[in-house]
Chain A
Amino acid sequence: GQQVMQIPQYQHVQEGEDFTTYCNSSTTLSNIQWYKQRPGGHPVFLIQLVKSGEVKKQKRLTFQFGEAKKNSSLHITATQTTDVGTYFCAESDSWGKLQFGAGTQVVVTP
């Protein structure tokens, strides 16, 4: 089963607005990866976070790893229609096996 919980499950956003999606775990995570899956597509890697409190930015996307390494967030500013898709967080084990959350499906209204 999935050990990382993602909220919200669905996110409707007006184009130009900001939103945040969250990934939570009851246990300490060794790392967190974020993937984006467009409708009908496959997961595409966005970022990996490893250190407590780590923050990384990619243009309009900001990724954060919590201080206790039990949660992570993805914040998107000035949402565009190209941001449509499902965003997954996942923990990688020592071999690379990924344990995914259920994802946040993002719909953007023009």
Chain B
Amino acid sequence: GAGVSQSPRYKVAKRGQDVALRCDPISGHVSLFWYQQALGQGPEFLTYFQNEAQLDKSGLPSDRFFAERPEGSVSTLKIQRTQQEDSAVYLCASTPGLAGGGEQFFGPGTRLTVL
């Protein structure tokens, strides 16, 4: 496909379960971003990768959140021991270059509901 893809599109988890969310960026895109979007709010930055290097993880809410991009393409956001406040849409975005500015291409998101 030509765009950013994410899976699963919907995930329901019981409180305390671990979840893994996958992002496939546009082929060749160097930079990859994860955002969390609560209902009725704008996306909030979680973490940023340049190729396989995680350069900024300042937005991760707690040490229960972990992200990786081991081969510089696909990325996984893992949430351990999910809590109800983790319920949100998790968006992945990619850009072709190294520097900031310019269009970010967003995936469709994963809607996580924690019961």
Interface residues of A in 61-83 (CB under 8 A from B): none
Within 8 A of A (CB), among B66-85: none
Residue ID in chain A nearest B43 by CB atoms: A100
| Interface of chain B residues 42 through 60 with chain A (CB within 8 A) | 42-45, 48, 50, 55-56
Query: Which among A2, A95, A102 has the highest number of chain B CB atoms within 10 Å?
Result: A95
**Contact-residue bracket for chain B:** 20 to 34
B103-114 interface bits toward A, Cβ cutoff 8 Å, 1 = contact, 0 = none: 111111100000
Decide yes or no whether B26 CB sits under 8 A from chain A. Answer: no
Tell me the dominant secondary structure on chain A's binding face: loop
Q: Given A43-B91, A102-B42, A96–B109 Cβ distance below 8 Å?
A: no
Can you sample 10 A-B contacts with CB below 8 Å? A2-B42, A45-B103, A88-B43, A92-B101, A95-B48, A95-B55, A96-B99, A97-B33, A98-B93, A102-B40
Residues of A within 8 A of B (CB): 2, 31, 33, 41-45, 48, 50, 88, 90, 92-103
State the B residues within 8 Å of A (CB).
31, 33, 35, 40-45, 48, 50, 55-56, 91, 93, 95, 99-109
